Structure 1
Amino acid sequence: MVTRKQEFQSGSEVYHFLRDRGSVFIRMDAIDRAIVSGRARKGLSRVLSLYRSRESLSREDVAAFHRALAGWIVGAGAEVIGDERIVYPVAQSCSPDPGYHQCLQVLLMVAELHKAGYQRLRIAPGMSGSGFYWRCSITPSDNVGLNGWEPIEFGPNVVTYTSAAEDQYFGWTDTYGKTARQLAACFIERFPDVARRGIGRDRAYAGWFVEMLGAAENGRLPIFFGDWEIELAESVIPPPPVGVTSTGQ
């Protein structure tokens, strides 16, 4: 079980990491999502609880607590400038928010498919037009554009989850309580054509996916599209599909 002191230490480590970098890009939408429904909310709550439990605090103690809080808040939306990447605390538990957990399960399912040899399956995550629901389409990489995530054609080779469906993933009614591995097995069985086209190695994308998943486990679901203009930082854009270059050859 994660303790309040561990959450305090996690916030402090992220704060000092960002401070040492000097300059970062801040995504305000990511900060807001993390505070409202992500893991940052839990971390902030525990740091504040530890802060309130102290009867007297020196000026140095107050500054240390504020740095821990800033680490959780700013770290939720920071993109580091340059080649370095932000280091996230290792997620110790699932999100207490059921809706977020269900979205995370979809990403974990894709990670299991990658581990099983289906690394050419890619995701196209974003928000519904209303802004209320997270959506995540899954399609083979031969149906993905040069930006690394956008489907070229929609149809039977694009499978989409919406958070409006909650735990009825992809319209399935028998998946309540299933693990990510069990969902991956269901995906292969129920979408055989999509799964077959996803067979193959794409180590660059699988590596990008692992990094993205670390951010998602810390309250930052990937969002590439929505009913507003989204300018994606270079560090969050997936690599182009295997065999495809910027010239399309």
Structure 2
Amino acid sequence: MQKLLHLAGELHRKGYTGLQVIPSLSPSCVYWRCDFTNADSSERLSVSNWLQENFDIKEKEASTTEIVKRFEEDYNHFLLGSQGKDEYYSQWFSEMLKQLEEGELPYAFSDYYNDPNYWETSNGKKIKTLH
């Protein structure tokens, strides 16, 4: 599932800096969820469902390049609304990715966790947010 975070990072590098990531845990805290929202918050996509429907997530062969290409094909309209100049967010996001270990997933909130100043990770780290 960490591939979704790298998808967002690659989309930022391609100029879609208005795209923001909303990672969370399910109420049972068993499932990690990831949504993308566009620059004007008019659209929100459940990309964790999209990834599972389109790729074998356990298969290591699905490259970020393949995932990006498919996402651009499937969600061109969404990406048009994600073109923006939020370099501050995309820089923060890039730095956040560097803090993660392989397989480690961040989450902004769950039924049991909600701190607007930090994202917590599956390894118990706290990553400072922009707020």
Establish whether TM, by shorter chain, passes 0.5. Answer: yes
Q: TM-score range by the shorter chain?
A: 0.7 to 0.9
Aligned to 1:89: none
Aligned to 2:22: 124
**Which structure 1 segments of 5+ residues have no match?**
1-102, 144-152, 240-249
For residue 81 of structure 2, the aligned residue among 197, 222, 225 is 197
The residue type equivalent to 1:238 in the other structure is L
Structure 1 residue 236 displacement after superposition: 2.0
Aligned to 1:105: 3
The residue type equivalent to 2:106 in the other structure is P
Structure 1 residue 159 displacement after superposition: 1.4
Is 1:210 the counterpart of 2:118? The answer is no
| Local SS of the residue matching 1:159 | strand
**Which structure 2 segments of 5+ residues have no match?**
119-126
- Where is the helix percentage greater, Structure 1 or Structure 2? 1
In 2, are the aligned partners of 1:187 and 1:195 still within 8 Å (CA)?
A: no
TM-score (norm 1): 0.44
Higher relative contact order (CA 8 A, sep 6+): 2
- Where is the strand percentage greater, Structure 1 or Structure 2? 2
In the alignment, the residues of structure 2 paired with residue 117 and residue 188 of structure 1 have an alpha-carbon distance, to the nearest angstrom, of 12
The residue type equivalent to 1:179 in the other structure is S
Larger radius of gyration: 1
After TM superposition, the runs of 4+ consecutive aligned structure 1 residues lying more than 4 A away are 173-176
Aligned length: 121
Deviation per CA, 1:83-105: give whole Å up to 9, x if none: xxxxxxxxxxxxxxxxxxxx211
The residue type equivalent to 1:121 in the other structure is L
In the alignment, the residues of structure 1 paired with residue 102 and residue 86 of structure 2 have an alpha-carbon distance, to the nearest angstrom, of 25
Describe the shift of the 1:182–1:219 C-alpha distance in structure 2 as closer, same or farther (beyond 3 A). closer
Aligned to 2:122: none
Structure 1 residue 174 displacement after superposition: 7.3
TM-score (norm 2): 0.78
Aligned to 1:236: 128
